A and B are shown apart, each in its own frame.
Chain A
């Protein structure tokens, strides 16, 4: 069955970077896009960007442009999201999600809590 398993919780200091991984199983990573969505405490879901793991093309929300990098390692069936210059407002649960097509997210990772605190 399709699964997306994310790396564990992280605690970072302001100004640092964090890298969250998302390992896909049950399907070929290169056949579907992977999106990253975050959710700050008590807030709505917020789209950050996505990668076409088949060709490596990416697109990011302008809000995160310059701070976020999404990559994929097809040999490891893993997508990664790195966010730099962290600030307290980046404290959130970060999710990866598979795009079944037409930007419909049919499978989600379990989420990774990133806490930014001095």
Chain B
């Protein structure tokens, strides 16, 4: 099966920039989606197709994808951004075809 690897945790001070990575074999050839999950709540889509934002998601959230690493970047981090973040791809030749990363806990210091 296809494996996505995320760092368990990232810490950043308010107002700074957080970068959360998602590693996978040739992930740059796939479309990567990112979800934010706060405790006790369902995931929320924050970036899709590598770098597109759903309506209602602040421009502070952006994404990139190349080679073996995709990155979610959160600029001007706010306390309300503290959450778990998951990357997700579709890998048609594996089972399961929908794969999530292990999640990264973003802590705002």
Contacts and interface: CB of A to CB of B under 8 A. Distances in A.
Interface size, A (range): 20 to 34
Interface in B85-109: 86, 88, 90, 95-103
A10 interface: no
A45 B86 contact: yes
Nearest to B55: A106
A102 B48 CA distance: 10
Nearest to B100: A45
A90 to B, nearest CB: 16
A75 interface: no
Interface size, B (range): 20 to 34
B31 interface: yes
A47 interface: yes
Given A106-B54, A111-B42, A47 B98 contact: yes
Nearest to B92: A103
B100 A104 contact: no
A104 B35 CA distance: 10
6 contacts: A37-B100, A61-B95, A62-B95, A105-B88, A108-B42, A109-B42
Which 7 residue pairs spanning A and B have beta carbons closest together?
A47-B98, A108-B42, A61-B96, A45-B100, A103-B90, A104-B48, A62-B95
